[in-house]
Amino acid sequence: MAEAPKLEVRSRVILGKKVGRLRREGRLPGVIFGGHIDSAPVETDTASFQKGYRRWGQTTLLSLTGLDGGEVPVLVHDVSREPRTGSLLHVDFVRVSLTEKTHAVVPLHFGGESPAVKTYGGVMVHALSDVRIEAFPQDIPHQIEVDLSKIEQIEDTLYIRDLVIDASKIQILNDADAVVAKAVAPRAVEEVKPVAAAAEAEAVEGEAAAEGAAPAAGAAAGAAKGAAPAAKGAAPAAKGAPAADAKKKG
């Protein structure tokens, strides 16, 4: 087993809202908890932690130095960041025992080239990005490799049970039948096009029907206009009637 990376910390006396001063001075506030011992506030150099955390993640056993009582074996439990800038705000360390197994979430690393994708044009679906394991802290892997070259045909699937691990040290707690990755045909893209074409055809037909109705409406309007002169022509006949009566009287 490789020696655990060391991180220097010191006890922290600045608490609460005053920790902003620590951050401005390049110090990262944190806390150590777990192990049936009271929590202990600590601080460490922000730049040193950030540089190391890129390599460690939350799966590497660390050894904290600089505290009374000797080195403390820990895992990084959680890191808080400022939402807008991503700058580090706080780190939680959890104490672990080298003689007791613990649980951890380990990321999956997808490698290799799938023939189902390269040769047959399939689409690779990654169903999981990490797995939950049980192991001694010193045996927790940084990541678990997933070999996509084993997916040779469309619909070929890799399951949890297919992951290559050292079963003598690591137990994966996920369901063995859970899907990790699968090659599927790009049916979704093919199905969207006919649906869109049908919708477009319906829209064109609807527009044509609307345009065909307009002349009919225009003809009706024309008929109504044609009726108007007849009505006007009737008026002189009405006026001529009294003249005929006058002639008869004369």
**Structure confidence by residue, pLDDT tens digits, 71-101:** 999 999 999 999 999 999 999 999 999 999 9
Q: Is the pTM of this model over 0.85?
A: no
- From the number of C-beta atoms within 10 Å of its C-beta (0-12, 13-18, 19+), residue 74 rates as buried
Which stretch of 29-43, 70-84, 92-106, 206-220 has the lowest confidence by average pLDDT? 206-220
Token look-up 């009405």 returns 238
**Cβ-Cβ contacts under 8 Å for 87 (sequence gap 6 or more):** 23, 81
Residues 166, 131: contact at Cβ < 8 Å?
Answer: no
User: Over the chain, what is the mean pLDDT?
Assistant: 82
CATH among 3.40.50.300, 2.40.240.10, 2.102.10.10, 1.20.1260.10 for 6-96: 2.40.240.10
Beta strands across the sheet bearing 102-111: 144-147, 102-111, 130-135, 171-172
pLDDT per residue over 154-201, tens digit each?
999 999 999 999 999 999 999 999 999 999 998 744 554 555 555 555
Domain with CATH 2.170.120.20 in the chain: 103-188
Furthest C-alpha separation in the chain: 144
Domain spanning 103-188: CATH superfamily: Ribosomal protein L25, C-terminal domain (2.170.120.20)
Domain with CATH 2.40.240.10 in the chain: 6-96
